[in-house]
Amino acid sequence: MSEESFTITDNRSGETVTVPIVDGTISSAALRELDKGMWFYDPAYMSTANCNSKITYIDGGNGILRYRGYPIEQLAEHSNFLEVCYLLLNGELPTEAEAEEWVHHITYHTYVHEDIAQFMKGLRYDAHPMGTLVSTVAALSTFYPEAKDISDPHNRLIQTHRLIAKMPTMAAFAYKNRLGLPYEYPVNHLGYTGNFLRMMWNVADPGYEPDPILTRALDILLILHADHEQNCSTTTMRTVGSSNADPYSAVAAATCGLYGPLHGGANEAVIHMLHDIGSFDNVTAYVEKVKSGETLLQGFGHRVYKSYDPRATIIKKTADQVFEVTGLNPLLDIAMKLEEVALNDPYFIDRNLYPNVDFYSGLIYEAMGFPMDMFTVLFAIGRTPGWLAHWQEMLDDPEQKIYRPRQMYTGPDERDYVPISNR
Ligand code: CMC
């Protein structure tokens, strides 16, 4: 921790304050000493740290990502998704006994109430699975009204188990609904990710076993998506949670945040883009369109990473293993050419635009057989423990209150109401 500071003088009063700089951050409270009515205009929170957090560390300049201190590369290589969920929520890796108990609790909650299954069937037959997921997670709050008691840590834990456990079930049901196929109910001995793959792909085969390489690859992808500090959806989770809403409502809101193409929807947008480009030969022309501002290079750029996203590096390696099982995704060549052209072009170099997590993940999902509109759903399953860890951390943080930023009013001054006949 540094002991730097700067001094600021208020030209209106001549008063001076010394503002400590802690880890590159100044506290608004120190500046407001000068003037209690002063606000900080920071559109899109470009310069704002809204909380202290012990969960995830990102060094965007050097492409570093750690969960609770553990490098993402080590977790992707040695851990598994449920263990990472435990780590994010509890701060430590579980012992064998803790891991066994944790897996038991998640397994115990994978079924959804039959009325939830029926509720999902009530949505339009071709509903986007993210729309279905958002609605169904929100509907869960009506099934667990006791979740409103967010002050009881044990009660919070049960809702946490339920949410992590039921996300894959709801995701697979959303997919099956679209096809008019019957739901596959959870078979828990296959493990969290294997069970999900079975619920997705199995039709009428009681002995169905998911491919172990694809199961491991998806598990790694879930690990990579499990948390990313104060991104749009996690900030939404904290914002809604700060009003003491129940966790189902808050996770539904966070899922809505994830749905957008600038956040979790980008993996879907990447595949659309690669299909639009269509061939290796069209890559340069597409890059020119991006540079002219006509379109975005989807899966490139990040608010925090100003170098290669470490998750993209791991995904690229995982892709090779997946393609050995599924065969090569023909879009891979276009993606790799696109990356090569962009990484050597001053437009992208000057703006520090590198591939992010979404650039290659969609290629893997597509090769595994997931339809494009399921990609963001997979992201949501992975991000659920991160949302819940932040929710819990926020509720336990004595400095946190209901989120209530201010605005700079730029509308008209007071004016008198004009009757409609005189307008
Ligand atoms: N393609 C072309 N130009 C870009 C891109 C891109 N993907 N991203 C940023 N730029 C340009 C942008 O036009 C701006 O240029 P200029 O300075 O000339 O105006 C400059 O780079 C800075 O960009 P910005 O929009 O101010 O950056 P931001 O931090 O507000 O946006 C972002 C970050 C991720 C929304 C943006 O890079 C983007 O839209 N990327 C494409 C969508 C995407 O891949 N999203 C997934 C993000 S990672 C996973 C997740 O968080 O969900």
> Is the C-beta atom of 242 inside 6 A of ligand 1?
no
Q: What is the pTM of this model?
A: 0.93
351-to-226, 283, 345, 365, 392 alpha-carbon distances in Å: 27, 20, 10, 29, 36
CA angle 67, 259, 169 (to 5 degrees): 75
Q: Tell whether the model's pLDDT for residue 43 goes beyond 70.
A: yes
Structure confidence at residue 156 as a pLDDT band (50, 70, 90): very high
CA neighbor of 167 nearest in space, from 287, 243, 82:
82
The protein residue whose alpha carbon is closest to atom 3 in ligand 1 is 296
Query: What pLDDT does 1 receive?
Result: 44
The protein residue whose alpha carbon is closest to atom 36 in ligand 1 is 301
Catalytic residues: 263, 302, 358
Higher pLDDT, 114 or 204: 114
* pLDDT tens-digit map of 375-396: 999 999 999 999 999 999 999 9
Structure confidence at residue 237 as a pLDDT band (50, 70, 90): very high
> Is the C-beta atom of 232 inside 6 A of ligand 1?
no
Q: Determine phi and psi for 19, rounding to 5 degrees.
A: -110, 115
Tell me how far the alpha carbon of residue 142 lies from the centroid of ligand 1, in angstroms.
38
Tell me how far the alpha carbon of residue 341 lies from the centroid of ligand 1, in angstroms.
17
Tell me the residue type at 262.
L
Q: Tell whether the model's pLDDT for residue 12 goes beyond 70.
A: yes
Name the residue with tokens 């109401």: 417
> Is the C-beta atom of 234 inside 6 A of ligand 1?
no
Alpha-carbon span 60 to 349, nearest angstrom: 15
> Is the C-beta atom of 290 inside 6 A of ligand 1?
yes
Residue 381: count other Cβ atoms within 10 Å of its Cβ: 24
Q: Tell whether the model's pLDDT for residue 140 goes beyond 80.
A: yes
Q: Determine phi and psi for 16, rounding to 5 degrees.
A: -125, 140
Alpha-carbon span 5 to 22, nearest angstrom: 8
Structure confidence at residue 64 as a pLDDT band (50, 70, 90): very high
Tell me how far the alpha carbon of residue 243 lies from the centroid of ligand 1, in angstroms.
31
Residue whose CB lies within 8 A of the most ligand 1 atoms, among 303, 304, 347, 377, for a mutation test:
303
Q: Tell whether the model's pLDDT for residue 230 goes beyond 90.
A: yes
Structure confidence at residue 204 as a pLDDT band (50, 70, 90): confident
Structure confidence at residue 186 as a pLDDT band (50, 70, 90): very high
Please provide the average confidence, as pLDDT, over all residues in the chain. Answer: 93
> Is the C-beta atom of 192 inside 6 A of ligand 1?
no
The protein residue whose alpha carbon is closest to atom 49 in ligand 1 is 263
97-to-100, 101, 162 alpha-carbon distances in Å: 5, 6, 20
